Structure 1
Amino acid sequence: MKSRLGVLLLLAASLQVRAQLDNRPFEQRSKINPADSNSLFLGINTLGFFKNNEYFNDIADGYTLFGYQLNPYLSYNPAPNFKLTAGIYLQKDFGSDGYEEIAPTFSLEYLHGHTRIIFGNLEGSISHRLIEPLYDFEKVLNNRLENGIQVIVNKDHLFIDGWIDWQHMIYKGENDQEEITGGLSFNYNVLKTEQVRLWIPVQFLVKHHGGQIDSSPAPLQTYTNTAAGFKLEFTGREGSFIESISTDNYYVVHEDFSTEVIQPYEDGSGWYLNAGMKTKANIDFMTSYWRGHEFIPIAGGQLYPSVSSTFKSPEKVEEVRELLIFRFTHNLRVTDQLWLTTRLEPFYDMGNGNFEFSHGFYINYTTDFFLLRKRSHR
């Protein structure tokens, strides 16, 4: 108890923002401008990445991700509130032959007020704005594309993202199961003054393996992850080196509703406590404390579960997983379209008494170019 109290005191004293890391450079947001009606654009999304995980524990593997993503596309607005986008996605992992993934991309978007409906390729991955125990940052590097349907509401005081990602389709008689993931990311600003802001976030993920036309003997599997909490941010004084200080805190729950429980734990929970500081130098500091009890994430970071995802120790379990994570992030906005991001994330595994770390460097460039406008005929 004394050790945990010490951790919480350290967390509060460090008051270092963004319980969730500032992942804005990695978001790929599409916009529908009524003035672009009947216009054709050529666009490009690119990401160069290097992430090295120096992990030697029995829960998460250590490895390096090094390469780039390229997504050229054409977009056309047939109406003021409608947009079609088609392109191709390529991922190259350095040190391998050929491309790791080559896939077509296509989406239909409809805008009504502050609400967008997307069908096809979703604004997924980091753009869902989920906390790391629910959604692994590395999915933006190795599993970026999501396909299905999505509804997004984005206002100054409200963010809602609800989606269905259809990950694996089956056909009649296949010895396999369909795989679907859905989620909801909700963040409401309940208090906003010049100095103080308070948000109430609620996040939910559900994953289902099953189907009615398959021949697989595997049982139906349904898992959920839920997180709820609050974020409190204090704005620094004008001219101060510290732009803001904040704290995010979440209670996280895992539940298994499968017809036959095949995972080591049927349910679990965790506390995810964060304190952070954002500076004028574009450097963010953050301290995170995680204590999970029999927690199994659906798509969360590999450090957080009580079950192993390692190659060498796949059967390893830790009933209680307790981590203290320190994060240092530098986001350099070179232009409106170009970001350079550097991260260093050492952590202390309190249960095993080990210090380990990861570090990374990323280049994000996203832009589009006007090609032509269709003339109207009278």
Structure 2
Amino acid sequence: MFFQKDFGQERITRIAPTFTVKFRHKNWNYLFGTLEGSVSHRLIEPLYNFERLLQQRIENGLQINHQTDRTFFDFWISYPQNTRPGYTRQEQFWGGISAEFSAIRNPGFQFTIPIQFTAFHAGGQNINSPLPVRTALNAAASLSLLWQNTTSGFFRSARLDAYAVGYSENAEKSYSGGAFYPNLTVRFRPATVLFSYWNGRNYRAEFGGDLYQNYTRRYNSTYQEANRQLLIMRFLKAIPITEGLWVTVRFEPHYDFGNKKFEHSEGVYISFQR
């Protein structure tokens, strides 16, 4: 069972039964039902909003994943919304492939190639919806370098990712866009610091982070920015409380070059896993 209770609400906002049929053969997993989704897809935030972990946690559909010391592969098709003849709402499908291959893997150095692709479709037959049939594609690829300190010290590791991100959509008319998204992640003994730069033009992702979109998601608004440039810093501190119980504190300031604004967000997360 899945229970969701939001602060500020007097009632439980969602109760949903979950089930998964899972077959495992060697390093391959085949799932039907509730998926190992959300952040388990390992998608970058422009393709998948981190807050969906809290807001839209459940994904149902079909999934095949594979993981070894050198490779990661995840393929899934989920069904976020169904429809029936005569309904006004569209049915929705969302799926993709997320893969990462380690070309070089040494105790202190790794060179990996992450590739990510997602597809979103909204439509349906014999329904009464004024919305157009839409198919949106998003893709990202990077060359990633990881250095790890093999001895104990103040610097634990550093990772550099340089993502090229693309977007294409076919609805009433075609849309396309893209972005450059380099990231530097440095792990110190007390905390982890991430530096990110985003330069996106005409970019959109159905489930991507709101901060990266060139098209607003504000209700009843058509505002858009052709180009969006951001400098983002993230400070993360994981505090172990006891075995299996962690508190994670996040502080994320960012500067919007186009609007000349400095903004920030904070979060505290408590997680338990045994």
Q: Who is 1:26 aligned against?
A: none
The alpha carbon displacement at 1:177 in A equals 1.6
Among candidates 267, 284, 297, match of residue 176 of structure 2 = 267
* Matched position secondary structure for 1:202: strand
Among candidates 90, 96, 100, match of residue 13 of structure 2 = 100
Q: Is the 8 A contact 2:116 2:140 kept in 1?
A: yes
* Matched residue type, 1:243: R
Gaps of 5+ in 1: 1-87, 368-378
* Matched position secondary structure for 1:340: strand
- Cα separation, 2, equivalents of 1:273 and 1:324: 10
Q: Who is 1:331 aligned against?
A: 238
1:1-378 to structure 2, matched below 5 A, reads 88-258=1-171, 260-261=172-173, 266-281=175-190, 283-311=191-219, 314-367=221-274
Bigger radius of gyration: 1
The alpha carbon displacement at 1:331 in A equals 1.3
Q: Is the 8 A contact 2:107 2:150 kept in 1?
A: no
The alpha carbon displacement at 1:336 in A equals 4.4
What is the percentage of aligned positions where both structures have the same residue?
Answer: 37
Q: Is the 8 A contact 1:247 1:274 kept in 2?
A: yes
- Cα separation, 1, equivalents of 2:248 and 2:234: 13
Q: TM-score, normalised by structure 1?
A: 0.70
The root-mean-square deviation of aligned C-alpha atoms, in Å, is: 1.4
The alpha carbon displacement at 1:216 in A equals 2.8
- Cα separation, 2, equivalents of 1:245 and 1:95: 39
- Cα separation, 1, equivalents of 2:167 and 2:46: 11
* Matched position secondary structure for 1:310: coil
* Matched residue type, 2:17: P
- Cα separation, 2, equivalents of 1:254 and 1:269: 6
* Matched residue type, 1:324: L
- Cα separation, 2, equivalents of 1:210 and 1:310: 22
The alpha carbon displacement at 1:99 in A equals 1.1
The alpha carbon displacement at 1:173 in A equals 3.0
Which portions of structure 1, spanning 4 or more consecutive aligned residues, are displaced by more than 3 angstroms? 333-336
Gaps of 5+ in 2: none
Q: Relative contact order (alpha carbons < 8 A, sep ≥ 6): 1 or 2 greater?
A: 1
- Cα separation, 2, equivalents of 1:89 and 1:145: 8
- Cα separation, 2, equivalents of 1:332 and 1:154: 27
- Cα separation, 2, equivalents of 1:275 and 1:251: 15
* Matched position secondary structure for 1:334: strand
- Cα separation, 1, equivalents of 2:224 and 2:178: 15
- Cα separation, 2, equivalents of 1:116 and 1:338: 27
Q: TM-score, normalised by structure 2?
A: 0.96
* Matched position secondary structure for 1:93: coil
- Cα separation, 2, equivalents of 1:333 and 1:154: 26
* Matched position secondary structure for 2:126: coil
The alpha carbon displacement at 1:217 in A equals 4.2
Q: Is the 8 A contact 1:206 1:298 kept in 2?
A: no
Q: Is the 8 A contact 1:224 1:298 kept in 2?
A: no
Give the number of aligned pairs.
274
* Matched position secondary structure for 2:17: strand
The alpha carbon displacement at 1:232 in A equals 0.5
- Cα separation, 2, equivalents of 1:356 and 1:336: 35
* Matched residue type, 2:195: T
